[in-house]
Amino acid sequence: MISIRTYQVSIFCISLLMLASCKAEQQPVHFIIERNYDKRPANEKVTVLLDWNEVAKRTGAGKNGVEVMDLNFGKPVPVQIADQNGDGKPDHIVLDVTFDSNEPIFSYRIQASSSAYKLTTFSGETDNRLQIKYLAFLKKQDKKPDWPAAIIESTRQFYPDPYDIALYASNRWNYEYGFFLTGVWKEYKRTGKKAYKDYVRLWVDRFVLEDGKLDPKQYKPLEYKLDDILPGRLLIFLYEETKDPRYRAAADQLADHLLHQPKTSDGGYWHKEIYPYQMWLDGIYMGDIFSMQYAQAFDKPEFLDEAVHQIKLIAQHTTDPATGLLYHGWDESKNKVWAHPEKGTSPEFWGRAIGWYMMALVECLEYVPVDHPERKTLIGLLQQVSAAVAAQQDRQSGLWYQVVNKGNEPGNWIEASCSAMYIYTFAQGAHKGWLDKQYLTIAEKAFQSLLEQYVMTDDAGKLYLDQTVKIGTLNPKGSKGDYEYYITTERRINDYKGLASLLYAGIALNAPQP
């Protein structure tokens, strides 16, 4: 890391697996600012100095100035070009940065502008609590890299102790870390790398007590959060691997949670206790894949049948007949904040919500017996939503927008996690024969686009994925679920909802799946 109080910018193009490109002339430069201090306020204003010569060399700026974009919020950053020693030449780029949230990391893009710069004088200095890392884009290689290994090893380099995942919210029984570590487990089973199994087990063991109960400080069953079920997949994997009864007991605890989950009048799981009568697409992946896995592992077919019911029910309530896309959520009570007064659906088609549902369909089919009466129905749902999503692919980037069907509307932006989720679904579905082979071609091209446009490395070779939306909620206290809400929600770099999705996409494309 580079302290910016005594800042002398030096951009290094060191590769991850010799992938990072050092050919950056005339290209935008990306960098992050890390706020390495506690009590990070929102709306904090700071001044940051960058070395003019280094940035000019990397961006191609000469007589012209530069433009800087805050990528967390998609807004421009005020810039000055400063002559600090009085020789009539630029010395520093002075950024008037506002951190509009309490996030620990902000991502930026800097590039040459079309306008000539005007020199100003500046006598201040930068805050030495801030640290900057410059990032380099990847370059194409003749040999296809092992992307799952690259993603996992980068995480292990960032977080040698998995309990520290991630900087945004560590030490938690958290669905996104359970999501990522399930991908790590899949790679363990494919490669036999014991280090991957140990990494997963080390994380899980921090939350499972000696009596097999989940730590009550971390898991509160009476909150009935479907999000808390997803990491339970790791409990089943570990029980099957080790036969340690603690893992079975903890999995049983989560299964009991599902037996008591509040439901709508037609039997749909509420997303959480605090969101009565609401079903969200996210909840299918959070709860129902665990349910099917539990059914198979412990001969409990009623859990599989319940999961199939949930999958079909939310499709019934949220599918738009005109586009084939699915709305983010449905409220049986038709709340006045975001629910359609007749249908009860939320207003928009949010990319990641649809991605969760599509991944759930692919993963559930791993557990549904070939002679199950609903298997063809589930394959039909997968084919229907896949066709609808493929039709919304952005032709220029090859990826998908935050609000999937409104790529041409102002303020919308390409979102990394949903794009990776669709790639995984298309590739895995095609490999399994549930989708036409054309979807594999779509997935391969989209994956390459995602790598080229949104994946970078730092000088230590660690991997970064940018433009994952931080959250998408239908909590009526904070969200109208409308277009403005989704496009203005903060984005993150190296958010594990995005990195996990990228890992799954890499797994599906790395080799044909069994």
**Could you tell me if 193 and 120 lie in one domain?**
no
- Amino acid, single-letter form, for residue 381: L
Token pair for 434? 């549930």
Specify the number of domains making up the chain: 2
- Amino acid, single-letter form, for residue 248: R
Q: Taking the mean position of all CA atoms in its chain, how far away is CA 5?
A: 32
**Could you tell me if 74 and 33 lie in one domain?**
yes
**Domain CATH for 190:** 1.50.10.10
Place of tokens 């201090």: 37
Q: Is residue 329 part of a domain?
A: yes
Token pair for 404? 């999937």
Length of the chain counted residue by residue: 514
Cα separation, 465 vs 417, in Å, equals 9
Strands 278-280 and 44-51: unpaired
**Could you tell me if 346 and 232 lie in one domain?**
yes
Q: Are 99 and 35 in contact (CB under 8 A)?
A: yes
**Could you tell me if 88 and 162 lie in one domain?**
no
213-237 pLDDT per residue, tens:
999 999 999 999 999 999 999 999 9
Q: Measure the N-to-C terminal CA separation of the chain; round to a whole number of Å.
A: 42
**Could you tell me if 353 and 439 lie in one domain?**
yes
Considering the entire predicted model, what is its pTM?
0.93
Q: Are 307 and 334 in contact (CB under 8 A)?
A: no
Place of tokens 């066709």: 387
Cα separation, 79 vs 48, in Å, equals 10
Q: Are 81 and 65 in contact (CB under 8 A)?
A: yes
| List of residues 6+ apart from 49 with CB closer than 8 A | 4, 7, 82, 92, 93, 94, 95, 122, 125, 126
**Could you tell me if 114 and 156 lie in one domain?**
no
Q: Is residue 142 part of a domain?
A: no
Q: Are 114 and 64 in contact (CB under 8 A)?
A: yes
Q: Of all residues in the chain, what percent are helix, strand and coil, respectively (each to 5)? A: 40, 20, 45
Cα separation, 143 vs 115, in Å, equals 41
Q: Is residue 457 part of a domain?
A: yes
DSSP 321-352: TTT--B-SEEETT--TTTS-TTT-B-SS-BHH
Selection from 295, 293, 269 nearest residue 280 by Cα:
269
Q: Are 233 and 178 in contact (CB under 8 A)?
A: yes
**Could you tell me if 313 and 238 lie in one domain?**
yes
Q: Which residue stretches of the chain have pLDDT < 50?
A: 1-25, 142, 513-514
> What is the DSSP-derived secondary structure letter of residue 227?
G
Of 137, 165, 185, the domain-final residue: 137
Give φ, ψ of 81 to 5 degrees: -110, 115
**Catalytic residues, which ones?**
282
Q: What is the pLDDT of residue 22?
A: 39
Cα separation, 327 vs 107, in Å, equals 30
Of 81, 113, 137, the domain-final residue: 137
Of 116, 137, 158, the domain-final residue: 137
Cα separation, 30 vs 105, in Å, equals 13
| List of residues 6+ apart from 337 with CB closer than 8 A | 476, 479, 480, 481
Q: Rounded to whole angstroms, what are the CA distances from 118 to 94, 137, 343, 391?
A: 12, 30, 57, 46
**Could you tell me if 166 and 43 lie in one domain?**
no
Instruction: Show the domain range for 168.
Output: 147-510
Sign of the alpha-carbon torsion through 49, 53, 59, 60: positive
**Could you tell me if 199 and 316 lie in one domain?**
yes
**Each residue of 463-481: b (16+ CB within 10 Å) or e?**
bbbbbbbeebbbebeebeb
**Could you tell me if 92 and 176 lie in one domain?**
no
**Domain CATH for 43:** 2.60.40.1180
Strands 79-82 and 119-120: parallel
Cα separation, 182 vs 175, in Å, equals 10
**Could you tell me if 440 and 466 lie in one domain?**
yes
Give φ, ψ of 49 to 5 degrees: -110, 130
Q: Taking the mean position of all CA atoms in its chain, how far away is CA 260?
A: 29
Beta bridge partners of 20: 138
Q: Is residue 18 part of a domain?
A: yes
**Could you tell me if 125 and 64 lie in one domain?**
yes
Q: Is residue 345 part of a domain?
A: yes
Q: Is residue 203 part of a domain?
A: yes
Torsion (CA) 148, 153, 156, 157 in degrees, nearest 10: -140
Torsion (CA) 507, 510, 513, 514 in degrees, nearest 10: -110
Q: Is the peptide bond before 166 cis (omega within 30 degrees of 0)?
A: yes
**Each residue of 74-86: b (16+ CB within 10 Å) or e?**
eeebebbbbbbee
> Does residue 468 come out as left (phi exceeding 0), alpha (psi in the -120 to 50 range) or beta?
beta
Q: Taking the mean position of all CA atoms in its chain, how far away is CA 24?
A: 27
Vertex 148 angle, CA 144 and 151, to 5°: 110
